[in-house]
């Protein structure tokens, strides 16, 4: 924020203070409204300070609170736009800095690796900042729209209420004085009954309604209100429901044009899962009262439960048109749109739900889950973290963990999967998830108890047996691992991963024919998979069937052309065939795809030596020594260098 803007805010604050000193009369006049104005100006000044200190998120939080109250606050809008723009500029500066860092030469390879990691972290932070800025801007715009819609709805309601009041006055005016007095007394008793009902004083409420019935036993409204008390008291109590149905039917007998008894019957039938009856009664209520949002909400719920999603969508849309403040209707509309395979529209309605209720954890969860399904893990994480902030449940911890997993941030994924285990220890999936991440982190010993617990809780899930087999295999118990892989295959014959691991165990035991049979069975399930063909290439190479090995390597690379592993495996076969120039090309490609693939450096050094290109071999091997530190591959490279 420029100094002029900040100075203007401070001057405004000074003017408010001066008005309080001018005189008692002026102070009394201004005091009531100036309290809110003072708070607003203080908030604007604090937001300006935060912008100067580059704490844009804190500034945006303050400005968001002002704009929720008044979307047309021009000063707040201007400061918000300034904060968003400066936040974008900061994100862009971070990216520029990252690109500059990439261009700068660095002779120390280890320092270069660290610089690359730091640059990636800065770029990720910049992307997150930009995504957060976009999200805030969208939320503020949505809140502005909803505020305008709510104001329009309130105006419409005031006009309808006034119209109803005038109609009631006209109706009473047409009655005799005695009849008008009776109707007013009935209405007063029903109003008192409604207040008692809202305080959960249902017996007293029914007493007032009985008094109204004594005045006019033919009043349909009194019977409808009596039915309502039984539903509101306990909709799951069979005796209450029987009485509510009886009073509703008596109300309809007296006045079939009154909407309330149909609404009550619809709620009862939906609760008892008689969805067709519920839809019939609630549709009638909606026809008789097309301006009541609660009726359309209940109708939407019945249609959703009956899996009539297109109808449910129309009902929920009618509900939110009539009541923009019903966050549950926006949420249910989002669920309905998911069922109708319209995820983008679903996200829009979940965002409206959180605009109405800022701590709506379930809505944030659905936004995040849908974004994750669309491959947008960064924005998904932002929303899922919001869900977790408001509801520290196992479900939300799992969702946050999956976002981190998709982003390749395994330590963070492990943290939240572990949280899920602590919050929900009796769920096998939580133990399985934790074991899977630990295995990805090469921590098989820690993974083993989690994997074993998942199988103990539910041994019928093939993924659980497969994961336990991986942990056991990594710890060296090949025979026991085979049993778990075979169990996974029995449970799902089309499950290829355990077949590949089983073949690898046969390879380690030098049982090449058995390994080949397992992999050929896997190829019958899916002959185009990269992992199946890569392992077939390995077995054929070990059986010295090099042409077959090359064929399957080519198929694997066609499936995953950017895999360094596949290029490396192809090179191993080419080396066996003494096709060194082709092997050199394949290994060079592997290193270009993965600059930390140390085994590829060793093999490339050996190939270059075989091609009598010792100078280039020294260069490659020295790169490995410089970058791989004290690894076993670096030690091999030193040995090869010493031999040159």
Could you give all domains of the chain from N- to C-terminal order, each with its CATH number? Answer: 42-86 (no CATH), 562-643 (1.25.40.10)
Is pLDDT at 11 greater than 60 in this prediction? no
How many whole angstroms separate alpha carbon 458 and alpha carbon 429?
9
Packed helices 546-559 and 564-576: angle between N→C axes, nearest 10 degrees:
160
Is pLDDT at 189 greater than 60 in this prediction? yes
How many whole angstroms separate alpha carbon 367 and alpha carbon 344?
9
Q: With bands split at pLDDT 50, 70 and 90, how would you rate the model's confidence at 1?
A: very low
Determine which of 284-288, 311-315, 637-641 has the lowest per-residue pLDDT on average.
Answer: 637-641
- The chain-wide mean pLDDT, for the chain, equals 85
* Sequence-ordered list of residues with C-beta below 8 angstroms from that of 465, at least 6 positions apart, any chain: 455, 459, 484, 485, 487, 488, 491, 498
143 closest CA partner among 352, 443, 385: 352
Predicted pLDDT of residue 449: 97
Residue 247 and residue 230 in contact, taking contact as beta carbons nearer than 8 Å: yes
Residue of 9 and 113 predicted with greater confidence: 113
261 closest CA partner among 216, 226, 294: 226
Q: With bands split at pLDDT 50, 70 and 90, how would you rate the model's confidence at 156?
A: low
Q: With bands split at pLDDT 50, 70 and 90, how would you rate the model's confidence at 545?
A: very high
Predicted pLDDT of residue 579: 95
Gyration radius of the chain's alpha carbons: 35
Determine which of 114-128, 185-199, 286-300, 458-472 has the lowest per-residue pLDDT on average.
Answer: 114-128
Read off the tokens for 196. Answer: 């008692």
Neighbours of 183 (CB within 10 A): 17
Is pLDDT at 400 greater than 60 in this prediction? yes
41 closest CA partner among 71, 72, 17: 17
Residue 248 and residue 227 in contact, taking contact as beta carbons nearer than 8 Å: yes
Residue of 232 and 171 predicted with greater confidence: 232
* Sequence-ordered list of residues with C-beta below 8 angstroms from that of 19, at least 6 positions apart, any chain: 26, 27, 30, 34
Q: With bands split at pLDDT 50, 70 and 90, how would you rate the model's confidence at 40?
A: confident
The pLDDT tens digits of the residues spanning 68-104 come to: 667 667 787 787 778 777 776 776 666 555 545 443 4
Q: With bands split at pLDDT 50, 70 and 90, how would you rate the model's confidence at 269?
A: very high
Residue of 13 and 335 predicted with greater confidence: 335
Q: With bands split at pLDDT 50, 70 and 90, how would you rate the model's confidence at 141?
A: low
Percentage with pLDDT > 70 across the chain: 79
Q: With bands split at pLDDT 50, 70 and 90, how would you rate the model's confidence at 264?
A: very high
Predicted pLDDT of residue 337: 97
The pLDDT tens digits of the residues spanning 227-255 come to: 999 999 999 999 999 999 999 999 999 99
Predicted pLDDT of residue 130: 66
Residue 378 and residue 371 in contact, taking contact as beta carbons nearer than 8 Å: no
């Amino acid at each position: 924020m420029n100094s002029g803007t900040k100075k203007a805010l401070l001057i405004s604050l000074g003017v408010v203070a001066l008005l309080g000193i001018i005189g008692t009369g002026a102070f009394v006049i201004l005091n009531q409204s100036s309290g809110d104005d003072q708070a607003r100006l203080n908030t604007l000044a604090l937001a300006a300070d935060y912008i100067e200190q580059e704490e844009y998120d804190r500034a945006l939080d303050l400005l968001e609170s002002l704009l929720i109250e008044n979307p047309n606050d021009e000063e707040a809008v201007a400061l918000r736009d300034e904060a968003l723009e400066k936040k974008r500029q900061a994100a862009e500066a971070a990216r520029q800095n990252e690109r500059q860092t990439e261009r700068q030469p660095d002779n120390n390879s280890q320092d270069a690796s660290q610089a690359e990691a730091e640059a990636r972290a800065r770029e990720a932070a910049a992307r997150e900042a930009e995504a957060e800025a976009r999200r805030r801007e969208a939320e503020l715009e949505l809140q502005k729209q909803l505020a305008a819609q709510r104001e329009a709805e309130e105006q419409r309601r005031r006009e309808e209420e006034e119209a109803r009041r005038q109609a009631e006055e006209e109706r009473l005016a047409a009655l005799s004085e005695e009849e008008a007095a009776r109707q007013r007394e009935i209405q007063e008793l029903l109003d008192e009954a409604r207040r008692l009902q809202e305080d959960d004083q249902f017996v007293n409420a029914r007493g007032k309604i009985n008094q109204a019935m004594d005045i006019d036993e033919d009043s349909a409204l009194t019977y409808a209100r009596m039915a309502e008390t039984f539903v509101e008291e306990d909709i799951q109590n069979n005796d209450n429901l029987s009485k509510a149905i009886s009073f509703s039917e008596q109300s309809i007998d007296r006045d079939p044009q009154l909407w309330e008894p149909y609404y009550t019957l619809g709620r009862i039938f939906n609760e008892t899962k008689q969805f067709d009856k519920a839809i019939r009664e609630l549709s009638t209520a909606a026809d008789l009262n097309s301006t009541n949002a609660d009726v359309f909400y209940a109708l939407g719920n019945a249609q959703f439960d009956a899996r009539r999603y297109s109808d449910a969508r129309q009902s929920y849309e009618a509900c939110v048109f009539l009541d923009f403040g019903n966050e549950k209707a926006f949420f249910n509309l989002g669920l309905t749109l998911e069922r109708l395979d319209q995820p983008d529209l679903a996200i829009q309605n979940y965002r409206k739900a959180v605009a109405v209720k800022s701590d709506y954890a379930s809505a944030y969860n659905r936004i995040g889950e849908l974004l994750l399904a669309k491959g947008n893990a960064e924005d998904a994480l932002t929303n899922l973290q919001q869900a977790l902030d408001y509801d520290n449940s196992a479900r939300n911890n799992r969702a946050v963990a999956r976002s981190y997993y998709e982003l390749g941030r395994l330590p963070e994924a492990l943290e939240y999967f572990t949280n899920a285990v602590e919050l929900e220890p009796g769920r096998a999936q939580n133990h399985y998830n934790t074991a899977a991440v630990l295995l990805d982190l090469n921590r098989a010993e820690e993974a083993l108890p989690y994997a074993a617990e998942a199988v103990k809780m539910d041994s019928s899930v093939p993924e659980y047996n497969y994961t336990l087999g991986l942990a056991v295999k990594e710890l060296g118990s090949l025979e026991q691992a085979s049993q778990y892989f075979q169990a996974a295959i029995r449970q799902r014959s089309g499950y290829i991963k355990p077949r590949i691991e089983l073949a690898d165990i046969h390879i380690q035991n030098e049982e090449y024919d058995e390994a080949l049979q397992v992999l050929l069975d896997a190829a019958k399930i899916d002959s185009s998979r990269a992992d199946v063909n890569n392992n077939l290439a390995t077995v054929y190479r070990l059986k010295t069937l090099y042409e077959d090995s090359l064929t399957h390597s080519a198929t694997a690379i066609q499936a995953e052309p950017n895999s360094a592993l596949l290029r490396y495996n192809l090179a191993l076969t080419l080396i066996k065939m003494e096709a060194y120039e082709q092997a050199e090309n394949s290994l060079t490609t592997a290193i270009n795809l993965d600059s930390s693939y140390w085994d590829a450096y060793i093999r490339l050094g050996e190939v270059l030596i075989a091609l009598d290109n010792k100078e280039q071999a020294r260069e490659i091997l020295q790169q490995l020594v410089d970058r791989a530190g004290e690894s076993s591959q670096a030690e091999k490279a030193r040995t090869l260098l010493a031999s040159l």
